[in-house]
Amino acid sequence: MAGLNLNTEFIIGSITLCIAVFVATLCVFPGRNRAAINWNTLHVLITGASHGVGRATAEMLLAKAPGLRLTLIDREPLDPGLMQRWKAISAASDERIHVYQHDLADGHCTGGTKAQAASLSSLLNGIIVSHGTPDILINNAGTVAGKFLTDLTSSDIDSTLAINLVAPMLLTQLLLPHWIQRDRGHVIHVASAAGLVGLAWLTDYCASKFALVGFHESLRQELRYTNVHTSVICPGHIKTRLFASVRPVLTWLNPSLTPEQVATTIVRAIERNRSQDVWLPWFTWNALIVRAVPVWLNDFGHWVMSANNFWPEDRAPDYCKRGWEPGNN
């Protein structure tokens, strides 16, 4: 745009901004369902199902239909009383709920992606043989190190990428041939608003979630001629133990979400039966505007929202504190 004058650049920038706001607004309002879902025949696979969003999603799905089946994966065991509670609220039988205790990153740190793929392939093959092919995959499991880049270890980075990015890609890849063959299936990735806007203290987490959003967008293009769908959910701060130490700011403008609110969004995504991007709460759509403004205005927005200050400052290295100068430790 070197040949354009300032007024022309301003007009083009303004038009781009208006288009971004309009498109982002479409993410807030629900669209029409592509086709009716028969809840009674669904087999849903959820990762990270023992707590938070995964657990809330499982409960909502069990209440949807008496024939719906769940396969739940988590590296931690389910609360002993949880299964009884689910049976009580939804008349669920042992044949409806299948629980697998498995670390999605198994093999990655010692054998890399190849070993992790072998571990997940063995797990998924066992699920398919015992309970049939899942119709829906909800990639919900996630982890965060909660450190500045200079404090991260290579193991921290390995773990974050293995769970937040590599596992969703591999599970989707393993299920895709089954779905394409029958021309039906839906993968839902639980990403994050931190996959749309970069935040301090979350370099590994943001990298994994940005990549997950990119994976979803690329896969959607590959599946454009099929009835196999891919959706991504990008929530803001959720009140779960994963971000228990976060200090939310400006909650009147960008409120924290409950696991139940995110679970409701996931269930609606299944019901709509089409590929979609869902950002919540409503203020998250401003991430599109961030991409349409200069860097200094982006940084100003971070300052106004205190977006880089929701972690305890005393845990930050000196170079991340205001007034830092080289040599002052």
**Residues 69/92, Cβ–Cβ less than 8 Å:** no
**pTM score of the predicted model:** 0.82
Residue 319 clears pLDDT 80, i.e. is over it:
no
- Position 168 scores a pLDDT of 98
Residue 21 clears pLDDT 90, i.e. is over it:
no
Averaged over 10-32, what is the pLDDT?
Answer: 59
DSSP result, 233-288: EEE--B-SGGGTT-----TTTS--B-HHHHHHHHHHHHHHTS-EEEEESGGGGHHH
Q: What domains can be seen in the chain, in order of their start residue?
A: 36-293 (3.40.50.720)
- Position 314 scores a pLDDT of 59
- Position 207 scores a pLDDT of 97
- Position 90 scores a pLDDT of 60
The per-residue pLDDT for range 257-311, each reduced to its tens digit, is 899 999 999 999 999 999 999 998 877 777 777 777 777 776 766 655 555 665 5
Q: Which of 313, 238, 250 is nearest to 286 (CA)?
A: 250
